[in-house]
């Protein structure tokens, strides 16, 4: 089923994760943001803008999973674009979101 229709400025979805409240976080590649979606209502409930557009993935970490780590890409960008986007390819740590993530599942081989 369709969960959420991205707005034009959100561009395209990429990496995702779930928080402890069951909400979906989506990295918006070429949208410069991570959005939080309520899967029950299909509404965007939070937006975190980042200083570069090519946002590729997000996950929770830290001692209590209260930090979000967000990756970005620089591949495929020419020198002119890279000069305008000096943060492309960096990893960002976001704190103060007011929510926590959940531990990953480990599977035995």
Active site residues: 14
Return the SS3 of 94: strand
**19 appears as a binding residue in the annotation:** no
Beta-carbon contacts of 109 under 8 Å, excluding residues fewer than 6 positions away, are none
Rounded-to-integer distance, Cα 91 and Cα 78, Å: 20
For the annotated binding site for a divalent metal cation, the residues are: 14
For the annotated binding site, the residues are: 14
């Amino acid at each position: 089923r369709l969960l959420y229709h991205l707005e034009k400025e959100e561009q395209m979805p990429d990496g995702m994760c779930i928080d402890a409240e069951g909400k979906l976080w989506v990295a918006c590649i070429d949208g410069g943001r991570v959005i939080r979606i309520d899967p029950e209502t299909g509404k965007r409930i939070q937006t975190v803008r980042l200083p570069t557009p090519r946002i590729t993935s997000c996950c929770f970490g830290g001692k209590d999973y209260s930090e979000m780590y967000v990756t970005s890409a620089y591949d495929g960008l020419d020198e002119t674009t890279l000069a305008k986007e000096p943060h492309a390819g960096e990893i960002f740590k976001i704190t103060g979101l007011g929510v926590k993530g959940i531990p990953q599942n480990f599977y035995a081989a």
